[in-house]
Amino acid sequence: MIHVQSLNGAWKMRQDGSTEVIRARVPGCVHLDLMSAGKIADPFYGDNELKVSWVHESGWTYERSFEPDAELLSADRVFLECDGLDTIADVSVNSRVLGHADNMYVPHCYDLTGKLSNGPNSLRIRFHSPVAFARPHMKAAPLHCPSDSIPGSVYTRKSPSQWGWDWGPKIPTTGIWRPIRLVGYRVARLEDLRARQRHRNGEVTLIVEVAVESFRKAECELRVTLTHPDGRAESLSAPVKGSTARLQVPVSDPQLWWPNGYGEQPLYRVDATLVCGGEELHTISRQVGLRTLKLERKKDRWGESFTFVVNGVRVFCKGADWIPADQFPPRISDDHYRHLIRSAANANMNMLRVWGGGYYEDERFYDLCDEHGILLWHDLMFSCALYPADPAFLDEVRAETREQVRRLRDHACIALWCGDNECIGALTWFKESRESRDRYLVDWVRLDDARAAAVREADPTRTYWPSSPCAGPGDFSDTWHKDGHGDMHYWSVWHEGKGFDAYYAVKPRFCSEFGYQSFNSLESVRAYCPEEDFNITAPAMEWHQRNDGGNRRINEMFSRYFRMPKGFAETLYLSQVQQAIAIRTAVEYWRSLRPVCMGTLYWQLNDIWPVASWASI
């Protein structure tokens, strides 16, 4: 059996070069801890973002002491398991360096066997400034990042949007952002679980496979318990042979999982338990929805179709793009996640696109999407930039991709893996890449080959799509304006200033991104702007508009379709009406084109902070 000792909760932190100790909470991040300690004001208010820029220029050390439980000290193996370290960190126990972490997207595990004292032990994690880390890399080999961001994000495996975006602040925070614990294992542990589905003639079989790491010789077996949606449970067992075990579990009276609006979302639970000498050593659980899913691409008189088919039914995908729900992810509550996913489902959405400039979400996000029938087009975390393609970076990309795809592949909601957001387009955005296109295209191909191979190794059942937008593997054409193949990002209305009737000029096969801005609600504005500045040209309002010319575009469109609003509250409200009309115009027309168009995902569902943006919530 395993023994878990949580290391969440109270920690201490201090800034590099300072002796002042500040109380900290884990999971958390340095900005939340500084706010709690009264050391910085809310970075979202006014232009406080500028006043806290010193935080990301500094290194920070988190530390605490702990006494290991007796069960840990008697275990065959003891590990320090860190679900998320953000990002450039050195980890040490009792002044002994355990290792280095440089990727917020992967868990880090350090072997502590024989390294703990029976009594107080010290744990220290020193985080380096991500901005300072990136500078010498940018100086040696400059690579373009989005113009709205702090340069250098591409040299860290850290959420690109934390460095700034045209809807987000420049606050690349750092810290222990996901749970951390000590875990003791006896005899062996499960390293991986995979639950594949075989559908034949109305019958479903689950093929459960596990990888086992043994710490000493023993005869073990795998026991799989399948719990049906109605609570019925059935178990099967099979011996562990070497480091693997495999079981086929027939599902009696299988109930199929459907996207929202197409049917119900019955969910099964798979518990895989490693048993040795009658003792349960380790259990991994998965939530599973029974369904078939494929992306159908067929040549037709309009070009090539792009249709998701679930359980043999062609689905028109209705939804939006998802960005991180908070600049500081440790404070995203269950209620916040639930509100956003439930709101999407209540609006009759059946798909969200997890955008490639954020991070891989917590398990609770994917569970909610399973429960509400929300399919996920899932980008990998690369966006709008030129990335390195050296062997060390590509090795990191492969490991990250395998880790995240293995973690998420059993969720019914995952519909497609996509390599990145707009990185093919980025090859044409920058002077360097335009003048040396072959060099940067080769780098992108190397990056994409690494991602594609890792996805196909970890999850060969789903389609891998190279980029969004994209006309298909090996096709680097302009899918912002050409609408006959693949997925399309259509931005001619907002970025090019065309009227709403421009949506009638294109017939996308699948529009995975389009949108129109509005100001946020008066309630949200009050959270960052004093009432004496209730004017869209006031400094606080302009600071909370990150798209160059955004306020002007909203006002200019007023003059096309409305009389100008009388006051500030009316301006905010009318901008939202205008945004709704823009989205409705596009969606109603493109849905009328079915089966030419089989998906409309608008930019974007939610916001990362209170700001004028394309978000509907």
Mind telling me the catalytic residues? 422
Distance CA 513, CA 303 (A): 20
Distance CA 159, CA 173 (A): 10
| Beta-carbon contacts of residue 531 (< 8 Å; ≥ 6 apart) | none
CB 22 within 8 A of CB 14: yes
Which of 58, 60, 1 lies closest to 28 in space, CA to CA?
A: 60
Residue 152 CA: distances (Å) to CA of 444, 546, 568: 17, 19, 38
- Sign of the Cα torsion 183, 188, 192, 195 reads negative
Q: Per-residue b/e over 549-584, b at no fewer than 16 CB within 10 Å?
A: ebbebbeebbeeeeeebeebeebbbbbeebbeebbe
Helix (H) or strand (E) holding 69: none
Distance CA 416, CA 498 (A): 32
Distance CA 544, CA 542 (A): 5
Distance CA 222, CA 239 (A): 6
| Beta-bridge partners for 190 | 212
| Three-state SS at 565 | coil
| Three-state SS at 443 | helix
Long-range contacts of 133-136 (CB under 8 A, 24+ apart): 133/88
Which of 494, 512, 498 lies closest to 575 in space, CA to CA?
A: 494
